[in-house]
Amino acid sequence: MFRDLTRQNRAATHEECIRLLESEKRGVLSVQGDDGYPYGMPMNHWYDADTGCLWFHCGHGGHREDALARCDKVSYCVYDQGWAHPGEWVKHVTSVIVFGRMEIVDDHDEVVRVATALSHKFTDDESYIAREIKAFAHETRLLKLTPEHICGKHVTES
């Protein structure tokens, strides 16, 4: 169902893929948009190691939600900042693509749990997190991506 990488020698291990999903803060979520065009948008994410799912937060309505109502199949691409050998401009980058099904979650307790975990990727200020969640949890919607396939690769930009 899912294609193998063309260059298997560049494949990232499953463990490397998970580490990247845990460490990076954002990626590009792609849905099947209007008139068959792909619709990709940058999103913050939280990888839930207990369930293996990726979580996102958003508001209600809009292009993304309309697309998900038509088709729950999505892909999510994340890549690291890369690294270069001293004195070289060429970057070595690892990327991961997650294919899966996305569902909308409105449960308030889940919103609080996921928003708290996601916020910790950006700040350790507990009072700030609590204030933001109290102020905005009622209008926050979650997107839960249940992976069906995860693959990653190491590339050298040139």
pLDDT tens, per residue, the chain with 158 residues = 888 888 888 999 999 999 999 999 999 999 999 998 999 999 999 999 999 999 999 888 889 999 999 999 999 999 999 999 999 999 999 999 999 999 999 899 999 999 999 999 999 999 999 999 999 988 889 999 999 999 999 999 87
User: Identity (one letter) of the amino acid at 5?
Assistant: L
Separation CA 157–CA 117 (nearest Å): 33
pLDDT score at 9 = 86
Q: Which two tokens stand for residue 92?
A: 């070595």
| Torsion angle, alpha carbons of 131, 137, 143, 144, to 10 | 80
Beginning with the edge strand found earlier in the chain, give each strand of the sheet holding 73-79 in spatial order.
38-44, 26-32, 73-79, 92-105, 141-156, 53-58, 46-48
Domain 8-156, CATH class in plain words: mainly beta
Do the strands 46-48 and 53-58 form a parallel or antiparallel pair, or are they unpaired?
antiparallel
User: Contact 30/39 with Cβ under 8 angstroms?
Assistant: yes
Long-range contact pairs involving 34-43 (C-beta distance under 8 Å, separation at least 24): 34/63, 34/66, 34/67, 39/63, 39/64, 39/67, 43/76
Token digits for 20?
């990247």
First to last CA, the chain: 31
Distance CA(102)–CA(5), nearest Å, equals 24
